[in-house]
Amino acid sequence: MRRIIVNIAFIIFAFALQICIFPFIPFLYASPNLLIILTFTYGFSLGVEEGMIYGLICGILMDLYVAGPFGFFTFLFLWIGFINGKLSTYFYEEYIVLPVAVCTVSEVMYNVFIYIFKFMIRDKFNIVFYLENIIIPEVVITLIFTLILYRFLLWYNKKLRVLDSRGINR
């Protein structure tokens, strides 16, 4: 239970950081998508159910912040949590290449989904401009933050899992 509460608090903190702080840092060309990092990490390391639960929370937060049809980001984050949860059978804590590849695919899937349903629908077909100015910079900065945060997220989830199991055995 403690792990769930801490993870939800971490998601809310990451959301606030992503929305309120990162857009105003002048040397960042693009903002890292911390909610994608958290959803993919929780799904990839904890499984389908938890990946979808945390994806639901991240998606609802994004839907509450971004104007548009409610459920757009919830659906997207649920799918990211589900797909990464399915990949949890290939999870090895020491192996960093697969998580980086999974994060890259999740970030590209997120941006392509947004391009299709927010831009193409309005007859904006300049995919090269969107790719050069939004997708590639956001993928690169998110990967840099993934390399920094991934090990920490695994470590604290392992510690919280141990603390939760001690609380149950008392």
Instruction: State how far the Cα of 78 lies from the Cα of 82, in Å rounded to an integer.
Output: 6
Instruction: State how far the Cα of 16 lies from the Cα of 34, in Å rounded to an integer.
Output: 10
Number of H helices, E strands in the chain: 7, 0
pLDDT score recorded for residue 52: 95
Instruction: State how far the Cα of 114 lies from the Cα of 134, in Å rounded to an integer.
Output: 11
pLDDT, tens digit (0-9, with 9 covering 90-100), for 8-28: 999 999 999 999 998 888 777
Least confident of 8-12, 71-75, 119-123: 119-123
* Average pLDDT, integer, range 100-125: 89
- Residue whose token pair is 């392992």: 158
Of the candidates 38, 54, 32, 44, the residue with the CA atom closest to the CA atom of residue 140: 32
Give the predicted TM-score (pTM) of the model.
0.89
Q: Which domains does the chain have, with CATH numbers?
A: 2-169 (1.10.1760)
pLDDT, tens digit (0-9, with 9 covering 90-100), for 125-170: 888 998 998 899 999 999 999 998 988 988 888 888 888 777 665 5
CB 26 within 8 A of CB 2: no
